[in-house]
Structure 1
């Protein structure tokens, strides 16, 4: 039973926008691709748990908790009777080897960060969290490699590691565990959600300013700027995706609010940001329909979402 769904982090959303609208440095590009690939792997695991696990298992995706001034993230948490199962999901691709307690990419000389150490840290901090809040749950952590193109040579014999060919049997194993959910499991799930901290300890964003970013409406699917616009819809000349003008304008507003939280949303600023939507009258109509007008005359702006 899905209790907490996953959503893209703001940092990933911002990095995707910046990747399309400015030239990122090599390190910034790597950071963006790392976040993107990690999120894709987590979503793949979500689809697996949603379609394979029975309703007697609570599923909480993407939990960020702080305990004793230390933050830790659990990609997916499964609550089964008296056990909580934190899953660290890795979307590694390619050939790796394991040697002297370290993971190595075959094409690189230096070892990568050992995900087993990360899993152990999560287990330790989660144990502290449970104890502090009066929960007596067993912790059974797993490191899950989700990508079918991943291979690890000299893999350690470690029952806490789940490799791609083992995913189906892993789901079956979880379903075979006896589970009788009661108020205590739900209490733990609600507590984790209540304590979820949306501020992630990711690296800082690259510096950017409004005037330095490329203007124009990007494709919602492929992020291309090759957009053709008529009165009602936009069509991407690169991938063929179509989107209504209204949806595209709202998406542009949300982009600006994410990039520049203090920026006043006006018809002129959205017209400048979108570029392909030529009619200011159309933009103002869409903003008036979907956002609340604040102020009067030249001091008016749209910065508060209407209640649905």
Structure 2
């Protein structure tokens, strides 16, 4: 089984880092929680697909373009001579359909019809396949992964897999006969090559370095670490201990993600970590884990070349 690996969306990573260091506007806070839950649902579905035969090809998180229009596919499966599109939804609670509109039963508010997004992706993918010279059948499904989800008044022919149906659906996928694997591999490579490297629709609130709270964040409870003794940092809230090297490196990663255009220097990281640990401690950690550029006060650090590889388009 060939996989296009799924990586955490940059938008989610940035919002998570920001949420710990400033108070996000309500709109962005809801956006962050929505992305976090959605990503958890996609990871859950990834685990469910692990037992499919090796003849199946799975491409995760495809961001494609056709006819000057972008579209995203959570999971694409090539099995036999068929392409499956899966749109994963981690909805929780009770929902219902009325006059082809979707509503939350609790709030009575209308939500986006996920079928429209699924149909749009299928149409655009079909156009892309035609461009590649393929005329394979496409089967699209909404995957409701959360066992706490219930949909009322759904038509019997809705292209969806509900939590109670997932195991049976996966068993059915396992019975699909093998097809020409070389053709499927070629198609997978073409789709992977056409993936956009960056999402053009990332929505991040404006922020500056001075606006963000400085310090090292506990990896267990997300409070700010305060005590530094004998090479360890201790959280005053939950009591967890962490090696200073691990904690500082995690903080450097946050800084690099939030400020990709700023140089990583010893003084900058000391300030970013809220003064926890001396300049000598931070410098030692940077020297061991990053590549030093320049000399004296003009020196700075950057990720080693092996760490800078873009993994988003890799297939294993």
With the shorter chain as reference, the TM-score category is over 0.9
1:238-257 matches, within 5 Å, as: 238-239=237-238, 241-257=240-256
Match of 1:17 in 2: 17
Tell me the matched-pair count.
307
Match of 1:7 in 2: 7
1:229-308 matches, within 5 Å, as: 229-239=228-238, 241-275=240-274, 277-307=276-306
Structure with bigger RCO (C-alpha 8 Å, 6+ apart): 2
SS of structure 2 residue aligned to 1:23 = coil
C-alpha contact 2:45 2:88 (8 A) present in aligned 1? yes
User: Unaligned regions of 5+ residues in structure 2, if any?
Assistant: 308-316
Match of 2:127 in 1: 128
The CA deviation at 1:56 is 1.8
TM-score normalised over the length of structure 1:
0.94
SS of structure 2 residue aligned to 1:6 = coil
1:177-216 matches, within 5 Å, as: 177-216=176-215
SS of structure 2 residue aligned to 1:84 = strand
SS of structure 2 residue aligned to 1:141 = strand
User: Unaligned regions of 5+ residues in structure 1, if any?
Assistant: none
Distance (Å, rounded) in 2 between the aligned partners of 1:130 and 1:242:
52
Cα RMSD (Å): 1.8
Given the superposition, is the C-alpha separation of residues 161 and 241 from structure 1 closer, same or farther in structure 2, using an over 3 Å criterion? farther
Match of 2:34 in 1: 34
2:98 pairs with 1:96: no
SS of structure 1 residue aligned to 2:224 = coil
273-282 or 131-140: bigger deviation: 273-282
Match of 2:166 in 1: 167
120-129 or 246-255: bigger deviation: 246-255
Given the superposition, is the C-alpha separation of residues 179 and 230 from structure 1 closer, same or farther in structure 2, using an over 3 Å criterion? farther
TM-score normalised over the length of structure 2:
0.92
Given the superposition, is the C-alpha separation of residues 158 and 235 from structure 1 closer, same or farther in structure 2, using an over 3 Å criterion? farther
The CA deviation at 1:219 is 2.1
Match of 2:43 in 1: 43
